[in-house]
Amino acid sequence: MRPTSLVAVLLLPLAVTGQAQTFDSAAQAYERLSARLRKERREYGEARAAITASAAYRAARERGDRAAVLRMLNTVPRPDELSMCRRAIEVAARFGGDDAVRLLGWAAVHAKNKELTVEVVDRVEAEHMSSPALTALLERADVIARHLGMERGPGFLQRVVDESPHDIVRAWALYWQSIAIKRRDPQAAEKLRQRAATFADGHWLADKIRAKQFKAERLQVGMVAPDIEGADADGVAFKLSDYRGKVVVLDFWGFW
Amino acid sequence: MIPHERSLVERLKDQPFALIGVNSDDDLDYYRQQAKENGVTWRSFWNGVRGTGGPISSKWGVTGWPTIYVLDHEGVIRFTGVRGAKMDAAVDGLLAEMEEDQ
């Protein structure tokens, strides 16, 4: 690499952050950055869908021209998750507090990058081990541990189990520990799962852990369906039992 | 599957029938936008920002999509996993049964 291009590479993150908006608080940064990423991902999906629906693309597929297919798809720029996550980590350092932990967690989940994930975990271990906001980060500790690798992932989960004062945070760490060893040592995994369920009492993680039992005991043909309480796309609360008196098809679905 | 369900809802719009979804898209705006474009008129619980890992599907132990339960008018689970023509037959049967009861 020539010196000039090296300088360009080094300056690139600065240029990106230089252009970025400034934030008044970590909470605001979280709202804006996550909304921006959602928007960019939607636009990316739409732009790719437009290409795959085009006649030129279909023709290239039909004649098996992989190079042309890739060239067309590559004209759509991917959302720049990495620089958004880098920005989130900087803002988190500036503000501190539980909102900053939320930002760090968001960055660790979306970065999908070892270096940034390690940076987040370093910060968490140094400053935030007793934050209740670690829940959001630990919920996705499967993703985080994967990017941390064997040298950091298991140690981080264990530290959370040992040091967090919050039951739900410890519950998530125990849960992912159990998933990680499930194949190797099913008995030890089951013990961890049960411990996780105890710590998760009253939280949906406890439901998730007990799902198999729930299915066997409550979801068989001939049983009255358990009620579901939630909200629709407009945020209006409703219940499955509101539809008693009608035949109901309950359909777990999505567009993806 | 969406076109099939759309036509089921349309065909039974005057019957004591409801299709209730648990939408598992992680982005609420995307779900709204797609629902509009695809003529999805039925009501769904939104499973939250964790998408397929959200609270409702986690509690129900859903591991495949779509997952279908068909309930009779008393809320009893009568069929699971029925798709396409089988779904229609299950629903029609339960509607007929309901009429006989009355």
Q: What ipTM was reported for this prediction?
A: 0.97
pLDDT in tens, B19-36: 999 999 988 988 998 898
Q: Which residue of B has its CA nearest to A217?
A: B60
DSSP-derived secondary structure for A129-165:
TT-TTHHHHHHTHHHHHHHH-TTTHHHHHHHHHHH-S
Residues B82, B46: one domain?
Answer: no
With respect to residue A218, please indicate whether it lies within any of the assigned structural domains: no
**Averaged pLDDT, A29-36:** 93
Identity at A211, one-letter amino acid code: A
Same domain, B3 and B44: yes
My answer on whether B53 and B93 are in the same domain is: no
B2 and B21 both lie in a single domain: yes
Q: What is the rounded distance in angstroms from the CA atom of residue A125 to the CA atom of residue A250?
A: 44
Burial class of residue A41, CB neighbours in 10 A (0-12, 13-18, 19+): middle
Task: Write out chain B residues lying below 8 Å of A204, CB-based.
Answer: 55, 58-59
Number of domains in chain A: 1
Residues of A in contact with B17 (CB under 8 A): 246-249
Residues B39 and B54 in one domain: yes
Give the residue numbers spanning the domain of B55: 1-63
* Interstrand relation of A229-231 and A247-253 (parallel, antiparallel or unpaired): unpaired
Residue in A155, A29, A218, A141 with CA at minimum distance from that of residue B53: A141
> Tens digit of pLDDT for each residue in A197-221?
999 998 989 999 999 999 999 999 9
SS3 B32: helix
Does residue A4 fall inside a structural domain?
no
Tell me if chain A has a CB within 8 Å of the CB of B86.
no
Q: Are residues B58 and B72 in the same domain?
A: no
Chain B interface includes A53 (CB < 8 A): no
In a domain, A78, yes or no: yes
Domain that includes residue A98, residue range: 20-129
DSSP tally for chain B: helices H, then strands E: 4, 4
- pLDDT tens for A70-124 read 999 999 999 999 999 999 999 999 998 999 999 999 999 998 899 999 999 999 9
Q: Residue A108: inside a domain, yes or no?
A: yes
Model confidence at A20, pLDDT cuts 50, 70, 90, reads low
A31 touches chain B (CB under 8 A): no
Q: Taken in order B18, B56, A207, A213, is the CA torsion positive or negative? A: positive
Closest CA to A121 of A109, A169, A132, A167: A109
B73 and B52 co-located in one domain: no
Contact flag B87-A215 (C-beta cutoff 8 Å): no
CB pair distance less than 8 Å for A248 and B17: yes
Clarify whether residues B54 and B85 are in a common domain.
no
A72 domain-assigned: yes
> Tokens 């008995």 sit at which residue?
A187
Residue A105 belongs to some domain of the structure: yes
Q: Is A24 within a domain?
A: yes
Task: Inform me whether the C-beta atom of residue A63 falls under 8 Å from chain B C-beta atoms.
Answer: no
- Which residues, listed in sequence order, are joined to residue A251 by a DSSP beta bridge? B21, B68
For residues B73 and B45, membership in a common domain is answered with no
Query: How many domains are there within chain B?
Result: 2
pLDDT tens, residue by residue, A146-197: 999 989 999 999 999 999 999 999 999 999 999 999 999 999 999 999 999 9
Query: Looking at the structure, do residues B84 and B54 belong to the same domain, yes or no?
Result: no
Give yes or no: residues B54 and B79 share one domain: no
Q: B23 and B56 share a domain?
A: yes
- For residue A122, is it within any domain? yes
Assess A188–B contact: CB distance below 8 Å, yes or no. Answer: no
